[in-house]
C-alpha cells in the first residue's frame, strides 16, 4: 500500500477495526475511508456495491462482523450465521466487481475443530467437528475464507485471510450478555470490588486455556500482511502462549485489586478445552506480537475505568 492509497476499513468502530484505523493513521496512511452501520448497512447488497462503485477503493480491511461470546452465540445462532454471511459476501464480491487491488478478510480461530491438536496449525481447517456453542459463527467465517480462496482461483484476485486468536483492547465490548471472556471478567471483578462483594462467579470450571492478543498487535499484523503476503492459504495471528481461565481471572483480580473470592460455576459450559494457535507461519514472514498480557490488561482496565467516569 502507498501512503495515499484509498483504504477502506469495514467495521472501524469495533475492537479490531478501530485498532486498524489507529495503526494506519499512526503509520502515515492518509486516504482512509469508513462508514458507520447507519451510514452503510453491509448486509444490503445494493448499498455495498454502490458504495464501492462510487469510492474507487484500492485496499479493504474486512473487520466488520457480528461477534460475541458463548452466551451470545448460544442465544442468537441465526443472527450470527446470517449477518456474517451477508456482510462478507457483499463486501468480498463488491471488492472484486469494483477492482479492489487487495482485501484482507479477518476470520477467527473458532474455525478450527474442537479437538484439533495443539497448537492449531493452518492446515487443521476442516479436519474435524466444530465447537457446537459457536458453530454458526465459525461456519460463516469458513465460508468467508473459502470465498476469498475461490475468487483468487477463479478470478485472479488477491484476497487474503488472517485468523486472529482471542482479542482484547480499547473499544472492547463489556456487555455481560454479549462480551468475550476477558472484558466480561474485567467488568464482573471491577463491579464486585466497587460493590464490596465477597465473591465473584466465574462461568465454567476455569480449566480451559485461551490465548489473548491485543488489538493493537493484530492491527500491526494486518497491515504487515497486507504489505507482505499474497498467498492463498490462511495465516494465524497470535502470541503463541495461552493461559488457563482461572489464572486469567486471578491476574485480573490482582490488577483490579479485588480482595474477595472467585467461585467457578461448573454447570456453565466451558467451550473448547484449549485454543492456542501455531504462529510459525507469520513469525517466519517477519512479524511477532509485542504486547505482554498483563501490560495489555492493565491498559484495558484503565480505559474501562475512564469510560465509567465520563458516563
pLDDT confidence of residue 30? 97
How many folded domains does the chain comprise? 1
Asked if residue 192 is part of any domain, the answer here is no
97 annotated as a binding-site residue: no
Asked if residue 175 is part of any domain, the answer here is no
311 annotated as a binding-site residue: no
Asked if residue 262 is part of any domain, the answer here is no
Residues 6+ positions from 251 with CB-CB distance below 8 Å: 243, 293, 294, 297
141 annotated as a binding-site residue: yes
Q: Can you give the pLDDT of all 311 residues of the chain as single tens digits? A: 999 999 999 999 999 999 999 999 999 999 999 999 999 999 999 999 999 999 999 999 999 998 877 777 888 899 999 999 999 999 999 999 999 999 999 999 999 998 899 999 999 999 999 988 889 999 999 999 999 999 999 999 999 999 999 999 988 888 887 778 899 999 999 999 999 999 999 989 999 999 999 999 999 999 999 999 999 999 999 999 999 999 999 999 999 999 999 999 999 888 778 889 999 999 999 999 999 999 999 999 999 999 887 76
CATH number of the domain that 39 lies in?
3.40.50.720
Place of cell 487474503: 160
- Whether 112 sits among the annotated catalytic residues: the reply is no
Asked if residue 301 is part of any domain, the answer here is no
Asked if residue 215 is part of any domain, the answer here is yes
Angle between helices 77-97 and 45-55 (to 10 degrees): 30
Of the candidates 8, 112, 137, 168, the residue annotated as catalytic is: 137
14 annotated as a binding-site residue: yes
Asked if residue 187 is part of any domain, the answer here is no
d(Cα 36, Cα 23) in Å, to the nearest integer? 19
107 annotated as a binding-site residue: yes
Burial tier of 175 (Cβ tally within 10 Å: 0-12, 13-18, 19+): middle
Q: Which of 90, 71, 92, 93 is nearest to 82 (CA)?
A: 90
Q: Which domain holds residue 15?
A: 7-169+211-241+275-291
pLDDT confidence of residue 311? 62
Note if the bond before 119 is cis, omega within 30 degrees: yes
Asked if residue 189 is part of any domain, the answer here is no
Provide DSSP, the chain: --TTS-EEEETTTSHHHHHHHHHHHHTT---EE---TTT--TT-HHHHHHHHHHH--SEEEE-------HHHHHH-HHHHHHHHHHHHHHHHHHHHHTT-SEEEEE--GGGS-TT--SSBPGGGTTSSPPPGGGHHHHHHHHHHHHHHHHHHHHH---EEEEEE-EEE-TT----TTT--HHHHHHHHHHHHHHHT-SEEEEES-S--EE-EEEHHHHHHHHHHHHHH---SS-EEES-S--EEHHHHHHHHHHHHT--SEEEEETTS---SSEE-B--HHHHHHT------HHHHHHHHHHHHHHHHHT-
Asked if residue 303 is part of any domain, the answer here is no
Amino acid at each position: 500500500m502507498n501512503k495515499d492509497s484509498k483504504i477502506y476499513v469495514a467495521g472501524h468502530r469495533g475492537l479490531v477495526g478501530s485498532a486498524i484505523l489507529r495503526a494506519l493513521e499512526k503509520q502515515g496512511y492518509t486516504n482512509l475511508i469508513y462508514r458507520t452501520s447507519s451510514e452503510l448497512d453491509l448486509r444490503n447488497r445494493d448499498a455495498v456495491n454502490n458504495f464501492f462503485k462510487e469510492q474507487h477503493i484500492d485496499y479493504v480491511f474486512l473487520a466488520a462482523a457480528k461477534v460475541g461470546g458463548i452466551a451470545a452465540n448460544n442465544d442468537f445462532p441465526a443472527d450470527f450465521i446470517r449477518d456474517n454471511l451477508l456482510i462478507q459476501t457483499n463486501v468480498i464480491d463488491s471488492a472484486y466487481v469494483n477492482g479492489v487491488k487487495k482485501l484482507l478478510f479477518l476470520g477467527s480461530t473458532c474455525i478450527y475443530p474442537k479437538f484439533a491438536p495443539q497448537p492449531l496449525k493452518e492446515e487443521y481447517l476442516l479436519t474435524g467437528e466444530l465447537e457446537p456453542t459457536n458453530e454458526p459463527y465459525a461456519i460463516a467465517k469458513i465460508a468467508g475464507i473459502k470465498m476469498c480462496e475461490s475468487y483468487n482461483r477463479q478470478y485472479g484476485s488477491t484476497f487474503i485471510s488472517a485468523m486472529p486468536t482471542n482479542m482484547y483492547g480499547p473499544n472492547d465490548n463489556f456487555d455481560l450478555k454479549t462480551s468475550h471472556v476477558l472484558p466480561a471478567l474485567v467488568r464482573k471483578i471491577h463491579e464486585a470490588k466497587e460493590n464490596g462483594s465477597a465473591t465473584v462467579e466465574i462461568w465454567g470450571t476455569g480449566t480451559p486455556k485461551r490465548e489473548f492478543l491485543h488489538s493493537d498487535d493484530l492491527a500491526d499484523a494486518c497491515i504487515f500482511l497486507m504489505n507482505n503476503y499474497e498467498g492463498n492459504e490462511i495465516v494465524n495471528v497470535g502470541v503463541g502462549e495461552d493461559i488457563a481461565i482461572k489464572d486469567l481471572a486471578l491476574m485480573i483480580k490482582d490488577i483490579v485489586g479485588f480482595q474477595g473470592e472467585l467461585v467457578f460455576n461448573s454447570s456453565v459450559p466451558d467451550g473448547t478445552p484449549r485454543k492456542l494457535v501455531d504462529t510459525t507461519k507469520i513469525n517466519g514472514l517477519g512479524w511477532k506480537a509485542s504486547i505482554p498480557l498483563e501490560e495489555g490488561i492493565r491498559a484495558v482496565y484503565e480505559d474501562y475505568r475512564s469510560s465509567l467516569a465520563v458516563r
